[in-house]
Amino acid sequence: MNERLRNVPDLPTHYLTEEQQALADQASKFFFSEFHHLNAEMDDTDDLSPSIFPKLGEMGYLGLNVAPEFGGAGLDFTSACIITEELSRASAAIGLSHVAHDNLCVNNIYRNANDDLRRKYLPGLCDGSLIGALGLTEPGAGSDALGSMRTTARKDGDHYVLNGSKIFITNGPIADIVLVYAKTSPEKGAKGISAFIVETDTPGFKVAQKLNKMGFRGSPTGELVFEDCRVPAKNMVGKPDGGVAVTMSGLDLERAIVCFNAMGIARRALEISIDYAKTRQQFGKPIASFQMVQAMLAEMYTEIEAARSLSLRTAAMCEGLEEGEGGRGEIHKLTAAAIFKAAAATSFVLDRAVQIHGGSGYMRDTEVNRLYRTGRVLEVGAGTQEVRKLIISGELLKNI
């Protein structure tokens, strides 16, 4: 019956295609062989080896969404998400530094900057000779990032003079290029924000401190200070006072791709939990033979695959999102929902993973403990869970 419907290749799968799976497998193999063994030392020292970005660049894993003419890989957004997931699975910390560089900084420049800026900065960012970061959050501006932003950029001839500080900036301590948001018209509130490319050797820029994180150690995070930091006016990305569109559409993409940082971490936690449950013996048999442990494993799998399904759909819906689009409507709601779910699922999975590992999971130098310490911030960064829910309810209650 229904022969014509059987195994029809062009029916939607609502999941990875075979080609996408092959991309994931290839990336996974490389990331595990190159990076997985570095995790313990990165966690101890909280340093990122200088060889990592060039290596990622050499293998074509930087500038994932950037056109080849600028040195990028020319991939679609979903492919970038798939690579992010596999990288995070092999190394959560490198996955975080990579996404801050490649999505928050590089892709934002690629999407919003003019050709001169693209030609100047993208080739170096794509081959790994330049490291990128993005500066939005400030000591006094977290959830209310736009409204409470105090960093300013004052026009002075053909320069802007930046003053203020940015905090919790991934790659901040090692970045060569920071995409910085600052208020060019403070009286206009969120509508008076502009985006700038700041080279970190500019006088007036400094790394006030490298911060000491609980997890994702090895991915350097810092506080940045701008003191009469003079940036050429041509380094503005987008239009004067046009920063809010850049931020908001960038944030939608950020939320969509960070789902995959979370999913990589959660999948790895499940993998090592299954291994542990099969080998660990108590009461004369593997703990995997007990139903309470089986229930935990089943719940972990279910949460991961549920969240992944939504994340993948969300990534697909981000394809072809135009510059300045996003920050409102269906995609704004969907990306907020996907990251909420991915983060909540990951927290749940990590908690159970440590539970299955028992006492050993509480030891800092185990892989599961390193993963466990990453989880918390996924519910905080790129908009807290609360901000995500405000976005969703705001959209749901619109158009009454």
For another protein, the binding residues (CB under 8 A) are: 1-2, 5-8, 11-15, 17, 26-27, 59-61, 67-68, 72-76, 78, 274, 277-278, 288, 291, 294-295, 297-299, 301-303, 305-307, 309-310, 312-313, 316-317, 319-320, 333-334, 337, 340-341, 386, 388-390, 392-394, 396-397, 400
Q: How near is the Cβ of 276 to another protein at its closest, in Å?
A: 12
Provide the b/e sequence for 128-143 (b: ≥16 CB within 10 Å).
Answer: bebbbbbbbbbeebbe
Q: Which strand (E) or helix (H) includes residue 165?
A: strand 159-170
Which of 254, 237, 398 has its CA nearest to residue 326? Answer: 254
Nearest CB to another protein, comparing residues 173 and 375? 375
Minimum Å gap between C-beta 342 and another protein is: 10
Q: Round to whole Å and give the CA distance between 251 and 308.
A: 19
| Residues 103 and 254: beta-carbon distance below 8 Å | yes
Nearest-angstrom CA–CA distance, 131 and 105: 9
Q: Which of 254, 303, 367, 395 is catalytic?
A: 254
In this structure, the number of other CB atoms found within 10 A of the CB of residue 161 comes to: 18
User: Considering beta carbons, is residue 167 or 382 the nearer one to another protein?
Assistant: 382
Of 320 and 359, nearer to another protein (C-beta) is 320
Is 254 catalytic? The answer is yes
Distance CA 114, CA 242 (A): 14
Q: How far is the CB of 189 from another protein (least distance, A)?
A: 22
Q: Which is nearer to another protein, 63 or 222 (CB)?
A: 63
For another protein, give the closer residue by CB, 231 or 315. Answer: 315
For β-strands 193-199 and 177-183, DSSP reports them as: antiparallel
CB of 66 to another protein, least distance (A): 9
Kindly write down the DSSP assignment for every residue of 299-360, as one continuous string.
HHHHHHHHHHHHHHHHHHHHTTPPTT--SSHHHHHHHHHHHHHHHHHHHHHHHHHHHHHGGG
Tokens of 87: 């990288």
Q: How far is the CB of 157 from another protein (least distance, A)?
A: 37
Catalytic residue list: 254
